[in-house]
Structure 1
Amino acid sequence: MRILNLKNLIFSGFLTAISFTNISAQDAWINISQDQKIPKLLELKIEMSEANKIGDRYKIQLFYGDNNEASEVFKDYESKHSYPAMIDYETPNYKVYVGNFRNRLEADRALLEIKENFPGAFIPKPKRR
């Protein structure tokens, strides 16, 4: 019981001492200096995000095989759909990918449209970068 009273007495004395001091956060000035490289890095990050070079993104895979067939699938796809497509080379085969979707829901919606013309299309698990 005495310990609790002693702790309360010390705490109330501390609060009283603080209340008599005139401390104000508005009296101090804060100067923030920014490195000159930060704006350049932000621009680079924006460019990489727009070029889809960072982050986990979902893509739809249409084809996996040799170069000639991949080119034909790519041309056939571009004549029927508007999502951006690309041919990627992974030794020893070529893959045709469609889109660069932020989440699985967007990719699934596009997959429903694409499956009408390309029934073998699927969404592979995105790679971490």
Structure 2
Amino acid sequence: MQRFLSICLYIFLVILSACSSKVVSSKVSSSGTSNSKTSHKKLDKIYEEDLSQYLPKYKKLNEAGDTLSDDKNKSKKAYLTEEPMHINKKLDAILDTISVRNKGVRYANGFRIQIYVGNDRKAADDAKIYTYQTYPEIFPYLSYQQPIYKVKIGDFLNRMDAERYFVNIKESYPSAMILPDRVEIKRGILVK
């Protein structure tokens, strides 16, 4: 029985000590302040930096729109009369060279409608004349690889433009088909 009481007393003390508030002692220095307060002051000094040098600087404008400067004699006009700002002169030079190169490009991958394939020259010429009369905005191309004549029409930059004409051409030439081909860009832009 005595052993049972000692175990209960021990459990009671453990529970009581677990529920009690913890007390942290701090050493007091000779000046009368605790060490934790002095360490906070040291940390405050470390983080006391002037960061204003890293902030962006803007030109100040007065009510008239003129820029304020340190020298009052040298005030500039407002942004409305200034020349346009260039983000990067190297970028402008690269864009100029790309535009010059693009002006030299004459051909692109596109589509043409093949309306005739056969060995009869007269039938190939008739298909070409039909294109001139019915669709003046589309240019026909006649090619010959012995013994076959091929007539292809149009310079379509995308397939959807070729599909619009293909529906009408299919009525006159049932064997017509849309084929990928190399087309002239200037003529492709004119096709509507």
Q: TM-score, normalised by structure 1?
A: 0.58
Which residue is equivalent to 1:22? 54
For residues 63 and 25 of structure 1, the distance between their equivalents in structure 2, rounded to whole angstroms, comes to 71
Q: Contact 2:111–2:182 at 8 Å: present in 1 too?
A: no
Query: Closer, same or farther in 2 for the Cα pair 1:112/1:22, shift >3 Å?
Result: same
Q: Higher RCO, 1 or 2 (CA under 8 Å, sep at least 6)?
A: 1
Partners of 1:121 and 1:66 in 2: CA distance = 16
Alpha-carbon distance, 1:111 to partner: 0.6
Once the two structures are superposed, what CA deviation does each residue of 1:2-22 show, in whole Å capped at 9, x if it has no partner? xxxxxxxxxxxxxx98x5542
What is the letter of the counterpart of residue 116 of structure 2? F
The correspondence of residues 46-65 of structure 1 with structure 2, limited to 5 A, is: 48=106, 53-54=107-108, 56-65=109-118
Q: Deviations over 1:5-40 (max 9, x none)?
A: xxxxxxxxxxx98x55426498xx9752427x8253
1:43-96: CA deviation from partner (whole Å, max 9, x where unpaired): 213xx1xxxx12x21111001233713223212332233322111345653321
Based on CA coordinates, which of the two structures has the bigger radius of gyration?
2
Question: Unmatched 5+ residue regions in structure 2?
Answer: 1-47, 59-85, 184-192
Q: CA RMSD in A?
A: 3.6
Tell me: CA distance 1:23–1:110, structure 2 relative to 1, closer, same or farther (3 Å).
same
- Offset at 1:128? 7.3
The code of the aligned residue for 1:66 comes to: N
- TM-score, normalised by the number of residues in structure 2: 0.42
Aligned residue-pair number: 104
Counterparts of residues 72-91 of structure 1 (less than 5 Å): 72-82=126-136, 83-90=138-145
The structure carrying a bigger helix percent of its residues is: 1
Query: What amino acid is the match of 2:54?
Result: N
Any runs of at least 4 consecutive aligned residues in structure 1 with deviations exceeding 4 A, and if so which? 23-26
Return closer, same or farther for 1:97/1:25 CA change in 2, 3 Å cut-off.
Answer: farther
1:20 to 1:98, Cα distance in 2 relative to 1, 3 A: same
Structure 1 unaligned segments of length 5 or more: list them: 1-15
**Structure-1 separation of matches of 2:112 and 2:155:** 5
Question: What is residue 81 of structure 2 aligned with on the other side?
Answer: none
Is residue 159 of structure 2 the alignment partner of residue 104 of structure 1?
yes
